Amino acid sequence: MSDIKELTKLIKSLEDQLVVCMRCGMCQSVCPLFEQTGREADVARGKLALLDGLMQEMFEDPEGVYARLNKCLLCGSCAANCPSGVSVLEIFMKARVILTGFMGLSPAKKLILRGMLARPDLFDTLAEWGARFQNIFTRPVNNVVGTSCARVVSPLIKDRHFKNLAEKPFHKIQPSLDTQPGKSGIRAGFYVGCLLDKIFPHIAQAVVDVLNYHQVGIYMPEKQACCGIPAVSSGDMQTFNKLLFHNLECFSPDKFDYLVTACATCTSTIKEVWPMMADREHKNLIKKISDKTMDINDFLVSVIKVNPENQAPEKNRIPITYHDPCHLKKSLKVAAQPRALIKANSRYELKEMLDSDWCCGMGGSFNLQYYDISSKIGNRKRDNIVSTGCKTVATGCPACMLQISDMLSKNRDQIAVRHPIEIYLESLKL
Amino acid sequence: MINQALIKEFQNITGKDNVLTQKADLLTYSYDAAVVEPVLPGLVVRPVNSESLGRVVKLCCENNLPLTVRGAGTNLSGGTVPIVQGVVVLTNGLNKIIEINEQDMYAVVQPGVVTAKFAAAVEAKGLFYPPDPGSQAVSTLGGNVAENAGGLRGLKYGVTSDYVMGIQFFDTQGEIVKSGSKTVKCATGYNLTGLMIGSEGTLGVFDEIILKLIPFPAHRKAMMAVFDEMSKASETVAAIIASRIIPATLEFMDNFTIRAVEDYSRAGLPTDAAALLLIEVDGHPVQVEEDAQKVEQICNKMGARSVRVAKDDAERDKVWAARRSALSALAKLKPTLVLEDATVPRSRIPEMVQAMQDIAKQYNLSIGTFGHAGDGNLHPTILTDKRNKEEWERVEAAIDAIFDKALAMGGTLSGEHGTGIAKSRFLEKETSRATIVYSKQIKKALDPRNILNPGKIIGG
């Protein structure tokens, strides 16, 4: 077994991080997956023990470890709650890369990641075709949530209620921007991200409108690529690097003071995963970019100093609730800022839901692979949203928006799912 | 041996999904939170109702399969590390709070209920379940009873055993045994409840537990006393108790721990202090105010540099957040952390605190000491890296020394973590040869085939 020796050597490179886990098990209390299954292999402690087992070579089943390692939302709840400060996400992603290198990428993932995602032009074209033909295969189901479902039974879509692709992606509406700052004196790079571009162009537009309102100069280059999170979390470094290098060419750090995104996942990827996975050659460049990267809510509150205290609340305010995306709250510690933006709109009244920072169950490709569990976690979120009595839920992550829309729509709830930036923009137009 | 036919039988009882046979799954049940060698079980079974739990026990017995019950696996003495090729029985599928009776102030629970969830459910009804082990966010009540878990409130409110009114469990044949009652008084039959508490899964498998509840304290007051000399702090602990005041919590932190916590959480602790005492009194508002004043006076009289009384809930929370982060703060310093819980009569706390310092020096180890000074239960926490063999030998020698010291003062090996496999070889030091023989006779009588968590407490 020379291969296993090689694998052991690679896993050993994670040893210093793996030994930090003292097996206390505190991760169990916050893991959304463990709550559903009660299985130790689903929680961080179990997965770390499995990787440790591979390392010790006491164990001859790398496939088994790989399968269990991949069954994870990568929400980072465990890391945020870990007494020993184990770098769980870094270990998991690096281990996924190592094990994928050993096991090979599955044909389906190869097709999606290398065949489509890695080629931004082709990805755009495919999405446009999709948008053109989607009405043939789908039909609208919930006007308030704005979701559709498949007309015919499809193994890929199952009974999901999803947001359709936008008729016109954002890069067709606004291919690029390069404006000078007004009195703010600040220039922001705008990283749009796939979901905003292809499904939620109106949110991307809202970002542009808000930045314009505050006289922030915008640098938004053409042909932006995906941030690479689907690739790296599938262990596909080849695609990840390709996307990363593409984006590095687009976003030269001397072009902007801050790089903003309205996607929690993109922000945390650029800020945390890019430096984590960077090779030596690009380390400095990536650090410059990631240091400047900021979630849009955070940017508006911390840099532009949007202050809700300035607003006198109106009578008969509309109740709204807010879901904390894991990538914002647990990775980037951004929780007060989106709430501040919502409060800045005097028409709304923020009503907190129970466990607003409990994962919605999306987890990117987790939703594709484990739709049943993903839905169970999502329905817990749905119940907490419904219990507030609010007719609007806001959240700062387009992936969470998709998941929450699916859950609400399937339960026939008449609740709109919106981004805090939309709520804030409304207040500016009053 | 566990063969296909037997696996099938387990599957018939609990459903296919609740029987784990693949090695990768088995490996994740080979350890608990104790620093001991992992052992790979042969099978993991997760019953989701009482009936199937009983049938699983019976099947294990009929096939001579050693059986280790596991809740959350937060055990700190290796009590849930299984036996080679044994069966791990998970209780986290048995997680119903069957009844919370407000009128008679008791609750009936299944063993897999998570401690903190239970405490919250009880509190929502204005009642109080005081035992609060450090792992309460994940630990299960079954595990708490099996290990006789303690917590921060032990001084005034006691430990888990003080709240178990009755228990229903499966014997080694899978037959139901009942003991105790929902009444405050119960003198019926042998006190099997007492026998089961702290038995670490070696005498029976818990099915239902009746727990005592008390009224939620009406008022609380917390304070922090800062000391320039370790001896003054530990003498203050003795003085408070001697003055006949029983705080709900009386926690100690040495300088090493204070600095670690401050580095970690920037809580604003005085890093130059030799020791801190964190104290809370609770009960009737008038009594609380009076006690708090007295405690403050005693601290000052005993030479505290300063005493800060929390003005409101936010300040109170700050005091306890600092204490709760002690373990995290220490855990971040070194890869391996050995958390001991040797306990002494509380009047001997000053001596014990001094002994810890001497032992750290003698064995050239980093030891942070914090813990429940009020009940004599300190947690000397040795920071090390298990991969460093030479240092690990010194750690083991230091643990021996800590135990010897505690026993010499009339103390005990374990205040709240249990014996498990980590401390079973020291048991005779605290008790006697005859105690071990007597215990083995009980075990043999109740579990003649030795299938219930063999190897724990009294060894093989």
Residue A114 lies in a domain: no
Q: Say yes or no: A290 and A319 in one domain.
A: no
| Residue ranges of E strands in A228-333 | 258-261, 293-295, 318-323
Mean pLDDT across chain A, nearest whole number? 93
- The pLDDT of residue B320: 86
Q: Give the residue numbers spanning the domain of A409.
A: 308-428
> Quick check: is A386 in a domain?
yes
**How many separate domains does chain A show?**
3
Distance from CA of B428 to the nearest CA of A (A): 28
At A395, list the tokens.
């959240």
pLDDT at position B297 is 97
A26/B contact by beta carbon, under 8 A: yes
Question: What pLDDT score does A87 carry?
Answer: 94
d(CA A100, CA A387): 42
**Record: contact A22-B33, CB cut-off 8 A:** yes
| pLDDT number for residue A58 | 62
Verify that A98 and A212 share a domain, yes or no: no
Query: Which residue carries 């608990």 as its tokens?
Result: B32
Identify the domain boundary among A248, A279, A303: A303
pLDDT value for B281:
96
The answer as to whether A116 is a domain residue is no
Q: Do B32 and A23 touch (CB under 8 A)?
A: yes
pLDDT of amino acid A134: 87
The CATH number assigned to the domain holding A91 equals 1.10.1060.10
Residue A71 maps to a domain: yes
Cα distance from B135 to chain A (closest Cα, Å)?
Answer: 7
Closest by Cβ to B33, choosing from A24, A38, A50: A24
Residue A181 lies in a domain: yes
CA-based nearest distance A318→chain B, Å: 30
Please give the ipTM for the structure prediction: 0.94
Measure the CA–CA gap between A425 and B49, rounded to whole angstroms: 53
Query: A235 and A278 share a domain?
Result: yes
Residue contact A61–B25, C-beta within 8 A:
no
The reported pLDDT for the residue numbered A310 is 64
Place of tokens 């509380």: B346
According to DSSP, the residues that pair with B20 across neighbouring strands are B44
Residue A239 and residue A345 in one domain: no
B-chain CB neighbours of A22 within 8 Å are 33, 331, 335-337
A18 in a structural domain:
yes
Sign of CA dihedral A215, A216, A222, A227: negative
Best residue in B23, B28, B328, B337 for a mutation probing chain A (most A CBs within 10 Å): B28
> Is residue A85 less than 8 Å (CB to CB) from chain B?
yes
Pairing of strands B249-254, A416-418: unpaired
pLDDT value of residue A1: 39
Q: Measured between CB atoms, which of B27, B46, B137 is closest to A26?
A: B137
User: For residue B149, which residues of chain A lie inside 8 Å, CB to CB?
Assistant: none
Buried b (16+ CB within 10 A) or exposed e, A17-56: bbbbbbbbbbbbbbbbbbbbbbbbbbbbbbbbbbbbbbbe
Decide if B388 touches A, using CB distance below 8 A: no
- Across the interface, which of B29, B135, B327 has its CB nearest the CB of A40? B29
Q: What angle do CA B297, B302, B303 make, to 5 degrees?
A: 100
Could you say which of A253, A268, A303 is where a domain stops?
A: A303
Range B287-315 burial, b when 16+ CB lie within 10 A, else e:
ebeebbeebbebbeebebbebbbbeeeee
Chain B residues near residue A29 by CB distance under 8 angstroms: 114, 116, 137-138
A83 inside 8 A of chain B by CB: yes
For residue A21, the chain B residue with the least C-alpha distance is: B335
CB-nearest to B137 from A29, A59, A85 is A29
Q: CA-CA distance, A271 to A48, in Å (whole number)?
A: 24
If one counts every other C-beta atom within 10 angstroms of the C-beta of residue B400, the result is 14
For chain A, say whether B431 makes contact (Cβ under 8 Å).
no
Q: Are residues A352 and A409 in the same domain?
A: yes
Do A287 and A313 belong together in one domain? no
If asked whether residues A295 and A324 sit together in one domain, one would say no
Is the CB of residue A168 less than 8 Å away from at least one CB of chain B?
no
Q: Is the same domain home to A181 and A283?
A: yes
Is B24 close to A67, i.e. CB distance below 8 A? yes
Identify whether residues A405 and A353 lie together within a single domain: yes
pLDDT value of position A390: 98
* Residue A287 shares a structural domain with residue A179: yes
Residue where a domain stops, chosen among A303, A328, A362: A303
Residue A184 located in a structural domain:
yes
State residue B428's pLDDT score. 94
Instruction: Note down pLDDT in tens along chain B; length 460 residues.
Output: 789 999 999 999 999 999 999 999 999 999 999 999 999 999 999 999 999 999 999 999 999 999 999 999 999 999 999 998 999 999 999 999 999 999 999 999 999 999 999 999 999 999 999 999 999 999 999 999 999 999 999 999 999 999 999 999 999 999 999 999 999 999 999 999 999 999 999 999 999 999 999 999 999 999 999 999 999 999 999 999 999 999 999 999 999 999 999 988 888 899 999 999 999 999 999 999 999 999 999 999 999 999 999 988 888 888 888 888 888 889 889 999 999 998 999 889 989 999 999 999 999 999 999 999 999 999 999 999 999 999 999 999 999 999 999 999 999 999 999 999 999 999 999 999 999 999 999 999 999 999 999 999 998 7
For tokens 């505290």, what's the residue?
B304
Q: Which residues of chain A have pLDDT under 70?
A: 1-2, 58-59, 310-311, 430
pLDDT for res B327:
85
Enumerate domains of chain B plus CATH numbers.
4-90 (3.30.43.10), 97-215 (3.30.465.10), 219-408 (3.40.462.10)
User: For residue A137, is it within any domain?
Assistant: no
Given B27, B138, B335, which is nearest A49 (Cβ)?
A: B27
Mutate to test the interface with B, among A14, A16, A17, A29 (most CBs of B within 10 A): A29
Among A57, A84, A163, A60, smallest CA distance to A419 is for: A163
Residues A238 and A319 in one domain: no
Same domain, A192 and A232: yes
DSSP string of B366-396?
A: EEEEEEEGGGTEEEEEEEE-TT-HHHHHHHH
